[in-house]
Structure 1
Amino acid sequence: MIDNMNELRSFIIVAQTNSFTKAAARLGVSTSALSHSMRKLEEQLKIKLFNRTTRSVSTTEAGEQLFKQLFPLFESIEDNINALSTFRNTLNGTLRINGADHAFMYAIWDKLLVFMQKYPEVKLELTSDMKFTDIVAGRFDAGIRLGKEVDQDMIAVRISDDMQMALMATPHYLEQHGIPQSINELTQHECICVRMPTSEGIFLWEFLNTETKEVIKFMPSGKLTVNNNFLAKQACLSHLGLALMPKDRMINELATGKVVELLANQAIHYDGYHLYYPSRRQHSPLFKAFVDILKVT
């Protein structure tokens, strides 16, 4: 018999974070106290739950099995408790969302503000990540990515308009190097390359053939390679070359003339962002309220 159910909750947090330090910070206890609590739980169960090294913590096979059994139960308990808050016309709880910085900052930020104002007792934890993240393994409530194609056990809800891409450069750069009039002429220019964190390959530029409506792929090349669009934008504004990125990242700079859009008639757009999440989450009143505010109607 478990003496303290809080030890099981602590176990879930450690299993989620794979770190005593991170879990202790989330729980508001010391690392040593949490480690002692987990050893006590292992003694009570007479099972080793964690593999510990000086650098990392991971669940054993038994620990992972216990986590998979307990996590939905604790999540269901939390959802049921949160559902009671509807009797006082509010919701509370915590939502952990993973997505690209562009999605948070440019596509849904205003909606997030509406949600937080409407439900002031809810805590949101936003994790910005360029690489593709397994939200189940990462213990997130939901993820955000372009397009609606998701795993079979996931639900996808559209939360933004299409993402319009734009090729841009500063007037100063164009004065020095000329204005490209076609995709082929891009080989004569400095292109600011972005290395993708998941594949570690260079982000392939895509344009639209105005006649056939087919996608034209172009591999950019230049002296500078970065790993995110913040640096790509800064490099572009520093007159270092051409940059291809979502147009709304440079909307103010385009309006003031700090940058110029190039080959605009061949610009491509991608399907908008979708919120995707496990089907079991749709029964949570808190999560349903979140989806209702984010979704495109």
Structure 2
Amino acid sequence: MLKENINDLIALATVAEERSFTRAAARLNVSQSALSHTIKALEERIGLRLLTRTTRSVAPTLEGEDLLATINPCFEKIEARLQALNDRRAEPAGTVRIAATEYAIETLLWPKLSPVLKDYPAVNVELVMDYGFTDLATSQCDAGVRYGEQVSDGMISVRIGPEERMICVGAPDYFADKGMPQTPQDLDDHACINLRLSTHGALYAWEFEDENGQEIRVKVKGQTCFNTINPVLRAALDGHGLALVPERLAAADLAAGNLRICLETYSPYFPGFHLYYPSRLRPSSAFEVVLGALRERG
């Protein structure tokens, strides 16, 4: 009975809107005689005439107007809800897992993704902290982040950050006490904060470049060592020695005077962070949203 009533009420509303059985029948894709029979059956069932028919037009009776005033808003709400559900289904959805260092997550990935994710509630992002050259298949990650655009065969690389450089910094009190190195070789006479690489466990050799573009690598020594970059910066702020850190990471403390830079002329720029992912991957709608948010403009 409910299904029959709904179909009959839809027919009534369509005839009333079109003011014509001919046009309403074409819109509903039924014959005019079948539509006329449907309306007649509805009127007989409720015992009221709902439409006034003339040779030129069709119009609702008072009872018909009263019924239409009730059912039309309901149909509009149902249509709007169905459209909303359809729009939601068309929205990007899914989960994207990205492997990256703590520095990349905190200074680049999250600042770019945070505002975009609010616009796409069905897109989920999992940021996996990793300091090695992540095997995406083994880690079940969709993408990884590393410096430079060179990746292995079968991978696509997309620039997601500006050029970077590593700079040597120290606290003002440290320089006041120990002086400032003038060349990378002078670091032998300074306490330096080491970084142990998770990829092979070795200490990171500090990298510089001379005026001729020749690479200079210095193995530094000091009392402290960490395997992530944020504590290295913290130790430098606390006056435990010199640190080689990404310039963007130290920017706020340099501006505030909490740190000073040295050996700046020996600090070259290099390609910044790139997102890499398998070329065979057919990007999901969620991945397209993430990629669009992270892609470096300009």
TM-score range relative to shorter protein = 0.5 to 0.7
Q: How does 1:150-229 map to 2 (within 5 A)?
A: 150-210=151-211, 212-229=212-229
TM-score (norm 2): 0.68
What residue is the counterpart of 1:279 in the other structure?
Answer: 279
In structure 2, the gaps of 5 or more residues are 1-84
Shift of 1:120: 1.6
Task: Determine if the alignment matches structure 1 residue 118 to structure 2 residue 119.
Answer: yes
Q: Deviations over 1:93-135 (max 9, x none)?
A: 1111111111111123322113302212211111112222211
Deviates most, 113-122 or 234-243: 113-122
Contact 2:94 2:284 in 1 (8 A): no
Percent identical pairs in the alignment equals 33
Q: Distance in 1 between matches of 2:131 and 2:87?
A: 36
Q: Deviations over 1:153-199 (max 9, x none)?
A: 11111111111211000011111111111112111000111110111
Code of the residue aligned with 1:181 in structure 2: it is: Q
Shift of 1:265: 1.3
Q: Distance in 2 between matches of 1:271 and 1:107?
A: 14
Match of 1:163, SS?
Answer: coil
In structure 1, the gaps of 5 or more residues are 1-83
What residue is the counterpart of 2:233 in the other structure?
Answer: 233
Contact 1:164 1:247 in 2 (8 A): yes
Q: Distance in 1 between matches of 2:122 and 2:130?
A: 26
Q: Distance in 1 between matches of 2:251 and 2:268?
A: 16
Match of 1:281, SS?
Answer: coil
Task: Determine if the alignment matches structure 1 residue 255 to structure 2 residue 255.
Answer: yes
Contact 2:164 2:269 in 1 (8 A): yes
Match of 2:139, SS?
Answer: coil
Q: Distance in 1 between matches of 2:196 and 2:260?
A: 23
What residue is the counterpart of 2:23 in the other structure?
Answer: none
Q: Distance in 2 between matches of 1:164 and 1:107?
A: 15
Contact 1:135 1:143 in 2 (8 A): yes
Q: Distance in 1 between matches of 2:105 and 2:162?
A: 13
Code of the residue aligned with 1:117 in structure 2: it is: K
Q: Distance in 2 between matches of 1:266 and 1:283?
A: 41
Shift of 1:142: 0.8
Contact 1:141 1:277 in 2 (8 A): yes
What residue is the counterpart of 2:295 in the other structure?
Answer: 295
Match of 2:250, SS?
Answer: helix
Shift of 1:288: 2.0
Contact 1:150 1:156 in 2 (8 A): yes
Shift of 1:257: 0.7
What residue is the counterpart of 1:245 in the other structure?
Answer: 245
TM-score (norm 1): 0.68
What residue is the counterpart of 1:21 in the other structure?
Answer: none
Q: Distance in 2 between matches of 1:215 and 1:85?
A: 58
Contact 1:281 1:287 in 2 (8 A): no
Distance 1:87 1:206, change over 3 A: same
Contact 1:85 1:91 in 2 (8 A): no
Q: Deviations over 1:64-87 (max 9, x none)?
A: xxxxxxxxxxxxxxxxxxxx9767
